[in-house]
Amino acid sequence: MAKTFSLPQAQSRMAFIWLIVAALLTIVLWQVPWGNYILYPFTLLATWFHEMAHGLAAILLGGHFNELKLFPNGSGVALYSYSRLWGGDMGLAIVAASGPLGPAIAGAVFILAGRYYQSAHWCLVLLGMMLFLSAAIWVRSGFGWTAVSVLGGMILLIASYTPQWVQSFAIQFLGVQACISVYRQLDYLFTYKATIDGTPMLSDTGQMAEYLALPHWFWGGSLALLSLVLLATSLHLAYRR
C-alpha cells in the first residue's frame, strides 16, 4: 500500500509555495542571457525531456529514433526516420508537438506521483534508468553521454539515499521542471525557422504549421498554455485537501 504524505498542513503548504516559486524563478532566469548557465543542469534536463519526447513519439507512431544530440550550450536535436508514419501529416504534427508538450504530460504524472512516498520513489528510479537507457541507446556524443549519465546517477542517488519526504519533493520538483521546459526558449515556440548546431531547420511549431492548417504562432501559444494548464491542474490535484 502506498504511503500518503504525513506532513502537517502548514508544511505541505510550504512545499507547494516552494514549487511555485521554483517554477516562476526558473521561467524568469531562462529568459535572460546568463540564465541557462545558472540553471545549467536543469537546462540540460529540459533539453533531454524535449528531445526524448520527439524520439519516443516517432517510435510510437511507427518511425525510428536514430539519435539524440545534446550540445554544451544546452541545445539539442532528436534525429528520427520513417518510411511511413501512422496518421500521415497528423502523425508528423504529433511528433513535432511532442517535444514541447510531452515533457509537460510526464511532469504532471511526476507531480501527482509525489503525493505518495512509494510512487515518488519508483518514479525517481524510472527517470534515472531512462536517462541511463537513453545514454546507452541514443546519445552518442561524448558530452551528451556524460551529461545524461551524470543526471541519471544523481537522480538514482536521491532515490536510494534520501528520506521519503525528500524523494517526494524531488520528483515533484523535477515534474515542475518538465512542465515548464517548454518555456526554456519561449521565443522558439513563436519562431517558424531556427538554426540548431549551425543547421537551419523548421521549428517544432513551424512543422506543425506545415502539416496542419493554422499558423505557427497559434500552435506556439496553444502549447505554452497547455503546459501551464497541466502544471496548474497537477499541482491542484496533488495538494488539495
Q: Find out whether 148 and 135 touch, Cβ atoms under 8 Å.
A: yes
Whole-angstrom Cα distance, residue 171 to residue 168? 6
Task: Output the nine-digit C-alpha cell for 196.
Answer: 540548431
Burial of residue 27 (CB within 10 Å: 0-12, 13-18, 19+) is middle
Q: Among 7-16, 35-44, 144-153, 223-232, where is mean pLDDT lowest?
A: 7-16
Q: Which of 240, 178, 179, 170 is nearest to 18 (CA)?
A: 170
Taking only the tens place, the pLDDT of each residue in 14-50 is 888 889 998 899 888 888 888 878 889 998 999 999 9
Q: What is the pLDDT of residue 99?
A: 93
Domain residue limits, the chain:
10-71+78-117+168-239
Taking only the tens place, the pLDDT of each residue in 159-189 is 999 999 899 999 999 999 999 988 887 888 8
Angle, vertex CA 67, rays to CA 160 and CA 65, nearest 5:
90
pLDDT: is 85 or 116 the higher one? 116
Side-chain-side CA neighbours of residue 95 (13 Å): 28
Burial of residue 24 (CB within 10 Å: 0-12, 13-18, 19+) is exposed
Taking only the tens place, the pLDDT of each residue in 91-129 is 999 999 999 999 999 999 999 999 888 999 999 999 999
